[in-house]
Structures are given as C-alpha cells and as structure tokens.
A = this chain, B = another copy of it.
C-alpha cells in the first residue's frame, strides 16, 4: 500500500466510523426534516410503494441533494441492521463528533474526562445526557453498542438537536473498553448510592472515566470489578437517587 493509499484508507475508515444509520419511515422523515442533522445517503427498499410517506421522504432527500440508493429488502436489512423494524427505509447520518473510542489520542491527556454509560436504556435520558455532554465541554461520552439505547429518533429528539455536536465515542462492550482504558492509565470512577466518597468533593487526578449505571440496578458486576473509586452524590430528605440524566450533568459540569 502506498502512503497515499493508506491515507485514503484511513480517511474512508474514519468516515464510516462517524456514520450513524437510523431507520423506519417516521424516524427517517423526521431526521430529514431536521436541517441540522447532516444526512449523507438515503436507502430505500425496491419493494416500497411510492406513495404517502415514502414519496415525502424521497422528495425531501432530493430537495436536500441527498443521494438515494435502492436495494432489495434483504440488502436493506443488512444496512439498517434491523430488518424487522426498518419498514424499507434507512438513512445514513454523518456525525462529526461520533467516533470509535480507539481513535482517542495516545497518550491520554491528563485532563481527559469521559462519561461512560452502563445499560442506560431510556432514550429520553440518553438524549438529555448527550445534550449535557455536548454543552459541558468534557472530553466525551463513552457509549457502548451493547446494553444501551441506540442513537435513534427518540434520542435525537431528546437531545434537542445537539446529537451532531456532541463528542461521542462508541465501543462494543463496556467492560472490555474500560479494561483497555485502565491499561492506558485511565482511572475508573463508578457512581453508586452506597459509596463513601462524595462526587461533589472528589478531585480526579489524571485521565478519568466516570461510569453511570442503570437507574434501578446501578453499574453491572463486571464494571464494578474494574472500579478504582466509587462515588456517591449526598442525598437529603430521604431521597434515594437522582434521575440518571441529572447525575450525568452534575459529573459533566463538575469540571
């Protein structure tokens, strides 16, 4: 491979890593209607009837100069990765801040602050978290593809248009990625209602990844085994927990 080839390869790889594919007729229509969302390519199944919402989707894509490709139902299911729910429609969004965690610079800077989510399944909460992360200026959100809500239309809506501005690092399995980050010198701080250290007083030293667990179950066992420090937010009036999006904002704006 020549140097030029390898640069082209890297650029193409990065381009595809920043791609987020949404699917379903209404979600795709809404994504196209949001001029802030940089849509790259529309995919339609050959079998779609060209009326109603499909006609609207295609007209909107044409108006925005977005390329449309036609596929067999099977090929479309491979693109959407959800043939049962794609309704013959998928749309590639190109999110500038959406990257593989492996692209994080080496060595990790001392002020690297990540917020990782462990099994956050509510799309409204995920959207609010994306919005707070984008606004806060911390290094980024670490979002595993396994176990969390996917970045679909409900998340886009709850993020109030900030999804395409937010620094989001994707990974497959959270525990594996946390292990790799630890090996790279990153401390793992898990949030837990039973912890003795207060988040509000604790000061991170060096690169740190905070991990927020599921609202009812907390962080998973595998993740808590990787924890270097466990932090709690002090509660008054007998309240047991905060909304997870509120906790995320308190972490993100701590810095």
Contacts and interface: CB of A to CB of B under 8 A. Distances in A.
A21 interface: no
Contact of A136 (B124, B167, B236): B236
Contacts of A165: 237-239
Given A162-B239, A165-B237, A132 B253 contact: no
Interface-central residue, A131, A165, A250, by most chain B CB under 10 Å? A250
Given A135-B235, A135-B239, A137-B236, A128 B166 contact: no
Interface in A65-93: none
Contacts of A134: 236-237, 239
Contacts of A235: 135
Interface-central residue, A165, A166, A233, A246, by most chain B CB under 10 Å? A246
Interface range on chain A (Cβ under 8 Å from partner): 20 to 34
Interface in A108-145: 124, 128, 131-132, 134-137
A246 B127 CA distance: 12
A154 to B, nearest CB: 13
Given A128-B246, A135-B241, 8 more contacts: A131-B246, A132-B242, A135-B235, A136-B236, A137-B237, A162-B239, A166-B237, A245-B245
14 contacts: A97-B237, A132-B243, A134-B236, A136-B236, A160-B243, A165-B237, A165-B239, A166-B237, A200-B253, A243-B245, A245-B245, A245-B246, A249-B249, A250-B250
